[in-house]
Structures are given as C-alpha cells and as structure tokens.
Amino acid sequence: MKSTLCLAICSILVAANCFWPGPTACASEEVVTDADKVAVTIGSPGPGAEQSYQNILWALGKMPRKFKDCLWGGGYHIISVSTIDEWQSSHHARPFHSKDHPEWTYKNLSGLTGNRIKQILIGQYQFKRPVDRRVTFHECGHAFDNVRQISRSDAFATAYKLDSCLVKNPKFAWTARGEICAQLVAVEMCKNNVGGSDRPGLSSKFAEAWPNCAAIVREQLAYYR
C-alpha cells in the first residue's frame, strides 16, 4: 500500500514542483513571513476585510513553515472575499454542485478551494455572521491534499473503505474523501483546541472516527513539520 502511495506522490511532486523533504525533516518555526503575506489578498474590501485578513494570518501563523511553502510552491494563493456566494456570482462561476449534498449552494460555504485555478477563497461572512477563523485550516487542507494527491491515492481509498464501515457517530459519517482528508489536516492543525471552543468536526474525535485515513494524513504532514 505504501509503495503505491509513494509512487503516486513522487509523480505528483514532480508535476507540482514541490519538494520532498524526507522523513528526517525537523520542526520549523511557525511564523508568518513576507511570502505568506504575499500569498494572501483581500478580494472584497469592506467592513469585514481587515478582520478576515488578520484571521487568515493568525491561522497561517499556526501552520508549519514547510507546509505553507508546499502550498505556495504548488501555486496556491488565498483570497479573502465578502461571501463565497457573492464572489462566485460576480465571477460568473457555474452553480455549485455537490454529489453528496445536492441541496448545497455557494451560500452554504464559508470557504472554497479551486484546485484547477489554485485559489483558496475564505469568506468574511456566511449568513451575515463572521466566518470561523479555523476555516483557513480546512481550505489549506484541500490545497495540501491536491498538491500531494492524498485523498485520490489507492492507499487513502482503502483506508476510507475500512474506516467508513466503522464510523458510528453520524456527525462524522462524511462521504466525500476529499472533505475527510481536508478536515483531518484541519484537526491536526487545531490540536490542543486551537482557536477557542471545540467543535465536533474539529476535535480529535473526528480523527478517531477515521483512524486509517488519519494515519495517512499524519504521515504526509510529518514531512512538512
């Protein structure tokens, strides 16, 4: 299983011009640098823009240096937008379609990652309420997943099959592999209850519900500490 994943990752790494730091990579300081700031822009100026910008920098400040370098090296950038719905409407985006949640629209989203255009949108508001600053962790999880091709790997598909038979708590019974992967990255980044009140989907219980998937995500993140 490991060699299949490794092969998949190596070919993607070449394509993404991302580097393979090796398992001996040590922990790096978690600071916001100019490279991080350059990667964040305010798409919608308005009353929520400054707070949203600070929230994004706060989240980036909690992420390992190598993890962020992997995202920026993979071509990703972050845009703070008023709401996902408004931004997408004004950019003539196609209507949102989720196989798993056909009732969802852009209004349901507090963040959105476009892997084709390497764009991480973070909403300033959702349903007129400020967006939780931890959304940035989840959306960066999607970008990391895409650069490393984690959730599309055979190893992750096998892990998903194993875990999905075991998930008891309906709150954690997600069906989209990409969402599970992104959320597991967020859970890892939010360990020790980073950012305030715990949420069911952001607690370590989510990782406990998906143990095999979580092990793969942790293994991937270990190279970017």
* Residues within the interface to Zn ion (CB under 5 A): 179, 182
Q: How many CA atoms lie within 13 A of 133 on its CB side?
A: 21
Q: Report H helices in 21-171.
A: 34-38, 49-61, 65-73, 84-90, 135-148, 154-164
The DSSP 8-state label assigned to residue 115 in this structure reads: T
Residue number with CB closer to Zn ion (5 or 182): 182
Residue number with CB closer to Zn ion (9 or 182): 182
- Residue 122 and residue 82: Cα distance in Å, rounded? 8
CB of 19 to Zn ion, least distance (A): 25
Residue number with CB closer to Zn ion (32 or 137): 137
Residue 180 burial by CB count (10 A; 0-12/13-18/19+): exposed, middle or buried?
buried
CB of 115 to Zn ion, least distance (A): 11
SS3 151: coil
- Widest distance between CA atoms in the chain: 50
Residue number with CB closer to Zn ion (13 or 182): 182
CB of 165 to Zn ion, least distance (A): 23
- Residue 82 and residue 44: Cα distance in Å, rounded? 5
Within its chain, how far is the Cα of 131 from the centroid? 15
CB of 175 to Zn ion, least distance (A): 12
Q: What are 163's two structure tokens?
A: 């875990």
CB of 178 to Zn ion, least distance (A): 7
Residue number with CB closer to Zn ion (84 or 182): 182
CB of 44 to Zn ion, least distance (A): 20
Residue number with CB closer to Zn ion (32 or 60): 60
- Residue 223 and residue 225: Cα distance in Å, rounded? 6
